[in-house]
Chain A
Amino acid sequence: MALKALDIYKLLPKKNCKECGFPTCLTFAMKLASGKADPDTCPYLDEATKHLLKGATRPPIRRVKIGVGERSFAIGEEIVLFRHDKSFVHPPGILFQVPDLQTAEEIRRVASRVKDEVFPRVGELLRVNGIAIRNDSGSPETFGKAVRVVEETAEFPEVLIAGSPASMEAALAECGNYRPLIHAATAENHGAMCALAKRSGAPLVVKARGIDALQELAATCEAAGVQDLVLDPAPETTCEFLQTATMIRRMALARTAPELGYPVYLDATVPGREEATLSLGILKYASVIVTTPREPASLLPALTLRQNIYTDPQKPIQMTPGIYRVNNPAPGDPLLLTVNFSLTYFTLLGYLESSRIPCFLLLVDTEGFSVLTAVASGKLNENLIRDSLQRFGVEAETGHRILVLPGYAAPLSGRVEEATGWKVLVGPRDAAEVPEFLEQSWKKAAPGGSPGPAPGP
């Protein structure tokens, strides 16, 4: 069970000697309680107390890093069952699976996709995290070769899937230093797999069906000295995954079973159910998800779901308020007002960029609320607009005093004109119609301005 700061304090020597780096034993206790200090730093604790404190103060779900370098990713460290309770922390890694029986060419093709395919969305780059190579051949040599092909293509995280320690050893010989995820230690092979994991320093998946078996095997691997574990509850159905993963998350957070305090692995390559399983894994507690190489048409929605579920519910993805210049505008070019919600900005930007119309965008600080939400809540109002025009020195940039409001902010137009003294034009509601609107209405409204597509680059 988790201990409160005061319970921990009772176990400390109370010397207040500062040797742990904290001013008092109580401060140290508070840091321990929030997982921000290590019991080892107090030299006066006996082994039994240290052991007790370590169990009670480590993060409920251990952080595990997979891969090295730029594409590596961390998992674990989750602290809630529902994202609305605080936030989910590390988005699950999604990895494409390739069987080692495929030709080098086929493997290379998938690897290149993983390397190059990105979907930019609201200022983030959505992509698959790596490749899982599966030892279908059973042959260490074939497995090693397949891993080498992947290694030659690029550096990104890998999962090595093999039941035989000999195969695993051959694969690790190709990429052992790059922290691939080893899948998996089972009841049959755990001794050899633990040895391989320790030797290569790679994280290890523990695979057993059902909570009890999983807990027991994880304890065995812990005792063998492997620290970075990932749990594969080996569900037979999608439903079983939901139920087991929920139970693991609950027990880990309650610290009733420290051996379950590790991130969870999900093999979503179930024929006919992959899309549902992948979607479920994103929602319900999977930290590593292996799928077949999905086509972009259905991959992008899944990656978008992951992005949605792993944003902080208290903090929409936001832009810094200010003036943004699109297509190299000059004084006299149109000025559009919008909000600092990333989704709004990037949606609008997409249409403006492809229209090639030079213009200024004024992003006002609605704390990340969309236009309609900000209008409905009163966050977007004439005072905010007036202050923003002043604060960002807008007139000096645009050389005119004409402001285009989003269609959804139409009810504000009169009040904005009054408060700012600027002329207001109400634009369309849908960003897709903004270029056409600028071509037609701006010309009429602006003194000498004549926006139109700028000459090609």
Chain B
Amino acid sequence: MAEPGEWTGTIGRVVLGATKGEGGTRSVQYCIGGSRDLPFLPDEAPCGRRPLIALEICDDPALWPAVVKEYIGALADDPAAWAREAERTFGADLVRLHLTSTHRRQAPDLDTVGKTVEAVLAATTLPLIIEGSGDPALDSEVFRRCGEAGAGERLLLGTAEADRYRSIAAAALAYGHAVIAQSPIDINLAKQMNILLREIGVPADRIVIDPYTGALGYGFEYSYSVMERIRYAALMGDTDLAMPVLSAAPDSLTVKEVRDAPPAERQERALSWEFHAAFPAAVAGADIVCVRHPLSVKRLRDACAALTPGGKGTPVQGGG
């Protein structure tokens, strides 16, 4: 067990979002990573560190959690307005747009997808994460359109997996974006995924690891431990794992315990279920934590503030 000061590795940095100065239109730029110790220990980062909180939204809410739709009402059908509220009302650091319209059986209208990305970019000044189709057959076209629509904005594109990563990597390289590299809860697969991306030219400072997060009670313990292992390996000097980590447990709001909760308790149960995976993910070292319920954003932000006292730890802004 290495002691503080004995680690040989440092987590690499990734820059997200581009302000006017950097050729984009975002109001803020984040630089994530840079940690030199276990999360929230005194030597961790030169300027403290608070994980970024991303609010997830989508362009087709058919399969989106009922508790969220109940809470946001009409916003669910207007991704641009939803994104605007994410910034102004809900207090998110990032917006993560899932292009769920591409999951439908009939071929999606790709022009609309490109327009949605543009509308969301116009509606919020926050840096964006954009999730593609999840379907290799559509991915290349979808990523080309989002990549193009967000050219110069330093988006974070998701999600590269072992059997589909070429088109996302191509879009990232062509338009200057970063990518999410996902693997199913396994440190070796995470490493392999990063190596694959590097081999086709994606530099380490454009990769964010998503080790896959199971919902609380549904595999979360494995995800928690794999995040700890990744951080540990990186600090011990494994550069193939020394990237910032993103955690999202998208099933949190649809688990049985939430679906079957008494109606009067359901919203609080949902929020608490989401919290008890999101906050532990931050404790395990996630640099970006994604949530779906708007009220989770502030709750998580306050909790993370409790770990970074003294006002330190706001993300580095304005340049890498």
Contact B265 A296 (CB under 8 A): yes
Within 8 Å of chain A (Cβ to Cβ): is B165?
no
The docked-state distance in angstroms from the alpha carbon of A272 to that of B232 is 31
Partner of A343, one of B218, B229, B275, B306: B218
The docked-state distance in angstroms from the alpha carbon of A220 to that of B29 is 53
Within 8 Å of chain A (Cβ to Cβ): is B105?
no
Interface size on B, residues (CB 8 A): 45
Within 8 Å of chain B (Cβ to Cβ): is A327?
no
Contact B221 A298 (CB under 8 A): no
Contact B268 A297 (CB under 8 A): yes
Q: Type the 1/0 row for B223-263, where 1 means its CB is closer than 8 Å to any CB of A.
A: 01110110010000000000000000000000011010100
- What residues of A have a CB within 8 angstroms of the CB of B283 in the complex? 242, 279-280, 283-284
Q: Which of A320-338 contact B (CB under 8 A)?
A: none
Contact A304 B217 (CB under 8 A): yes
The docked-state distance in angstroms from the alpha carbon of A283 to that of B40 is 13
Within 8 Å of chain A (Cβ to Cβ): is B166?
no
Within 8 Å of chain B (Cβ to Cβ): is A350?
yes
Which B-chain residue is minimally distant from A277 (CB atoms)?
A: B306
- What residues of A have a CB within 8 angstroms of the CB of B224 in the complex? 83, 283, 308-309
Within 8 Å of chain B (Cβ to Cβ): is A118?
no
Q: Which of B298-320 contact A (CB under 8 A)?
A: 299, 302-304, 306-309
Distance in angstroms from A347 CB to nearest chain B CB is 6
Distance in angstroms from A328 CB to nearest chain B CB is 24
Contact B232 A273 (CB under 8 A): no
Contact A82 B225 (CB under 8 A): yes
- What residues of A have a CB within 8 angstroms of the CB of B216 in the complex? 301, 304-305, 308
Within 8 Å of chain A (Cβ to Cβ): is B41?
yes
Contact A347 B221 (CB under 8 A): no
Chain B interface residues (CB < 8 Å from chain A) = 1, 3, 38, 40-42, 184, 216-222, 224-226, 228-229, 232, 256-257, 259, 261, 265, 268-269, 271-273, 275-277, 279-280, 283-284, 299, 302-304, 306-309
Given contacts A276-B303, A301-B257, A432-B256, 7 further A-B contacts (CB under 8 A): A242-B41, A280-B283, A295-B265, A296-B265, A298-B271, A304-B216, A308-B221
Q: Could you list 14 examples of A-B contacts with CB < 8 Å?
A: A84-B226, A84-B229, A276-B307, A280-B307, A284-B283, A298-B269, A300-B257, A305-B276, A305-B277, A309-B224, A309-B280, A313-B222, A313-B225, A370-B219
Top-8 shortest CB links A-B: A276-B303, A238-B306, A297-B268, A308-B221, A298-B272, A84-B225, A301-B276, A301-B272
